[in-house]
Amino acid sequence: MVESPGKLARRVLDGSEIGRCPIGAKEVGRYFRGKWGAKDEFKGLGQFACMSRSRTKCLAIPISEKEVILARKLIKNDSAPGPDGVVKTDLIKWDPSGKLLAWIFNGFMVNQKIPDILKSNRTTLIPKDKEAEALKDVTNWRPITIGPMVLRLFSAIISKRLTKACPINVRQKGFTNAPGCSENLLLVEGVRERSIKTRAPLAMVFIDLAKAFDSISHVHLRQTLVNRRVDPGIVEMINDSYCGCSTRVQTDNGYSGRIAIEIGVKQGDPLSPLLFNLAIDPLLAKLQEVGDGFDMGDEKLTVMAYADDLVLLSNSWEGMNKNMGVLEAFCNLTGLRVNTKKCHGFLVDRNKRNGIQLNQCPPWSLGGTDINMVKEGEMVKYLGIKISPLKDPTSLM
């Protein structure tokens, strides 16, 4: 199975960092400065603005000592420190009862601000590829950004509260307590089996959102929380946590200079997965509302999500084209981009007259660029599994 961004972040936080990036600190710094300092292209949510309201009662109440203790217990004893070097045992020695930390955290909530001293981070790079040659390219390294232990503890408490207040879309399986990877793979197989059984056409497109975690707008995050009617004080506090936020990237030959994080979420902060899911939720909701999905009998299935890995489904070429239009409209508004070179799709048509036909249709396109249509004998990788339009899925392991 493929490792999710959440699992990769946990590897770093648990002290399981493997091999540091051999690329020079200056080159790495230039690359990430360009990435996290990119222009914010968020225009608004437009037609995607209608969302269910949050259950706000649990959000703004004072944080208790019990909440601090429970959240602290979930942090591993050897969890990696932030740039200040503070570890879990330091917090336990300083405040065994959790009373002081609860008092500090409630101060954050009352003032709707995070102290600047807690906005400095360090970033560790995790390899995306196993080949030594590929790892000479900085784009083949995934950044995991770690903040101070105190802020991570606070983020964990807020994340737990916000999760209760703002349930995510049922089609989103990434960063959830459920075995989402397995669920989505089983759903893919279920769709294929139903297509065979009912001889219904099946259109499926695998979408690659280009570096979504590193490019999502902070204004987008804020607007999503506002639309969910999250307590205004909580919204301002979360927004402030990214104002003046910075990091230094660790390589094999030292750290880069300070880099301002003006766009993207911190992969390594407990609140980031939920913020990302909430920001993607309007797209999933709109696809379910106006998209043209695959008929599963009791419902139409239009989209599946595992964090930023999306699969669009339909019963026809025209229906999929409509779904792609919804996706494109969302990206145009939010500034997120689709990597069309890594998007793959197919249309299988099973009818009595012509038998099984594969891709007897024009390719779908995004932004004027055609996506790759998966041919007979070819496979597309989804969550670590090779999927063929006409054959059973094959494990990559």
Please tell me the predicted confidence (pLDDT) of residue 128. 87
Percentage of residues in the chain having pLDDT higher than 70: 92
pLDDT at residue 147 greater than cutoff 80: yes
- pLDDT of 58 strictly over 80: no
pLDDT value of residue 81:
96
Considering only residues 4 and 385, tell me which one the structure prediction assigns the higher pLDDT: 385
The predicted pLDDT at position 396 comes to 40
Work out the average pLDDT over 146-163: 97
pLDDT of residue 1: 44
Convert the chain into a string of H (helix), E (strand) and C (coil): CCCCHHHHHHHHHCCCCCCCCCCCHHHHHHHHHHHHCCCCCCCCCHHHCCCCCCCHHHCCCCCCHHHHHHHHHCCCCCCCCCCCCCCHHHHHHHCCCCHHHHHHHHHHHHHCCCCHHHCEEEEEEEECCCCCCHHHCHHHEEEEEECCHHHHHHHHHHHHHHHHHCCCCCCECCCCCCCHHHHHHHHHHHHHHHHHHHCCCEEEEEEEECCHHHHCCHHHHHHHHHHCCCCHHHHHHHHHHHCCCEEEEEECCEECCCEECCCCCCECECCHHHHHHHHHHHHHHHHHHHCCCEECCCCEECEEEECCEEEEEECCHHHHHHHHHHHHHHHHHHCCCECHHHCEEEEEEEECCCEEEECCCCCCEECCEECEECCCCCCEEECCEEECCCCCCEECC
Cα 203 from Cα 294, distance rounded (Å): 8
**With 70 as the cut, is the pLDDT of residue 51 above it?**
no
Residue 53, pLDDT above cutoff 80 = no
Does pLDDT of 222 surpass 60? yes
Q: Which domains does the chain have, with CATH numbers?
A: 5-171+212-268 (no CATH), 180-210+280-395 (3.30.70)
pLDDT for residue 8 is more than 80: no
pLDDT attached to residue 294: 97
Q: Measured between alpha carbons, how far is 207 from 187 in angstroms, rounded to an integer?
A: 16
pLDDT at 204 over 90: yes
On the question of pLDDT at 237 being above 80, the answer is yes
User: Which of 10-14, 32-36, 116-120, 145-149 shows the lowest mean pLDDT across its residues?
Assistant: 10-14
Task: Judge whether residue 75 has pLDDT over 90.
Answer: yes
The pLDDT assigned to 130 comes to 84
Q: What pLDDT, on a 0 to 100 scale, did the predictor assign at position 14? A: 54
Q: In the prediction, which pLDDT does 397 show?
A: 37
Average pLDDT over residues 256-262: 97
pLDDT digits (tens, 9 = 90+) for 180-202: 788 999 999 999 999 989 999 99
Lowest mean pLDDT among 17-26, 294-303, 372-381: 17-26
Rounded CA separation 259/246 (Å): 5
**Whole-number pLDDT of residue 7:** 55
